[in-house]
Structure 1
């Protein structure tokens, strides 16, 4: 799977019932098509400080926030391509920068950031940014989140930056954080049928805005990692204090 390593865009989220999802797919059929990967699974290990400072800061909805994660598309092998990702959000704009590595290289980096030689990477600037956050915050793996995704792209080539993804069966675990262990986990929010994310640089196409209005679909705030922290990890923290 060949993927970009630098992104800049707005991302809006919507929670849907399965019934609304199916109806929406019908409405979108004339304008959008599913990408070549079909239904695929994404696994992300989120890193944080000992006291979860990154996610606690993010939940406060500041002007600037950042996350660091290790992501794979499907359960990887040791030699498969994975991504170390730095995701920043500034005034509603998402900036994502990532390094593409073999899984064994990524594990080596987590243990020792100096394990990657300068000649082994194409983009040293991204590595410097990741190094700075990883070392400055003393990050460690906290939770693995997995979900099954379908992605749609606009048929109109002028809308190449407009994409929609649908995430199903969002699940998490706080142990066995090695990606080789698989994509199993407990449900994050069983009341949600589908999480839709709309990714765009500018305004939505008129036809899409009209569809959202017709189906009474409205934006919401839903961060997968924040949901896990607020619903499960925060309770664990409190129990340790008590």
Structure 2
């Protein structure tokens, strides 16, 4: 079993293709590709986000509070098998600083944990700490799988600073059904095919070379949450369905029918 803990700033930028290509002209001078991205390769990331029946966690997150948190199960395989490694992560943002604590286990072990709180054998004290944190989270929030998000990622880290990371995500895909990691990756795209979501992950300030290049390319910070964008699209679709039904002459709408898309 592995454990990872992160604490850093994460700044996001939504790029058009010409901006992405412009950045790539200088990135290799200052950064090395992640071990899984050598030679221009990408890797897939597949997530299940957990939320309450009334979607409290994502609604609270979209209100931009000082403190927010989320729970997700992540895999680097699609579809994941019962013995494949997955990561259960609690991600928190406090005043702009992102912390992420996670434990790894097999997909089958994660099913057992959510069903009965049966934990895999923890060989490290820190792992036990994270599981206690997860237990507190699950006691406080009656969560269930609510959102699938996957994407293809290209990642780099600084030659002079391994804590400086830069990632580009494309094919960001969402769905609110078939909410398991042992299903294939499919769904609706939430950004354009020629767009890239860039995330700058640093423990301090961004390097000067990156700031200068982004200024040249007119790249500006954006507020972007993958889960948030997917949820916003979902709510908009429900509103459009209500309007369509009303215009069609139906005066009473059964919300259970409209919400069926999320089951």
Q: Is the 8 A contact 1:146 1:185 kept in 2?
A: no
Aligned to 1:36: 35
1:179-218, CA deviations, whole angstroms, 9 ceiling, x for partnerless residues? 1111111112337610000000001111111111121111
Aligned to 2:247: none
Question: For structure 2, which runs of at least 5 residues remain unmatched after alignment?
Answer: 243-254, 259-263
**Structure 2 Cα separation of the partners of residues 200 and 74 of structure 1:** 27
**Structure 1 Cα separation of the partners of residues 113 and 52 of structure 2:** 17
Question: Any runs of at least 4 consecutive aligned residues in structure 1 with deviations exceeding 3 A, and if so which?
Answer: 233-239
Relative to 1, partners in 2 of residues 1:101 and 1:234: Cα closer, same or farther, differing over 3 Å?
Answer: farther
User: What SS is found at the alignment partner of 2:29?
Assistant: coil
1:131-190, CA deviations, whole angstroms, 9 ceiling, x for partnerless residues? 11112111000010000000011112xx11100000001011111111111111111233
**Structure 1 Cα separation of the partners of residues 157 and 195 of structure 2:** 21
**Structure 1 Cα separation of the partners of residues 97 and 154 of structure 2:** 23
Q: Is the 8 A contact 1:44 1:71 kept in 2?
A: yes
Q: TM-score, normalised by structure 2?
A: 0.85
**Structure 2 Cα separation of the partners of residues 104 and 85 of structure 1:** 16
**Which structure would you say has the larger Rg?**
2
**Structure 2 Cα separation of the partners of residues 129 and 43 of structure 1:** 23
User: What SS is found at the alignment partner of 1:180?
Assistant: coil
Aligned to 2:223: 221
1:69-115, CA deviations, whole angstroms, 9 ceiling, x for partnerless residues? 000112222111111100000000001001111110011112122x1
Count, aligned residues: 237
Aligned to 2:15: 16
Q: Is the 8 A contact 1:15 1:192 kept in 2?
A: no
RMSD: 1.9
Question: For structure 1, which runs of at least 5 residues remain unmatched after alignment?
Answer: none
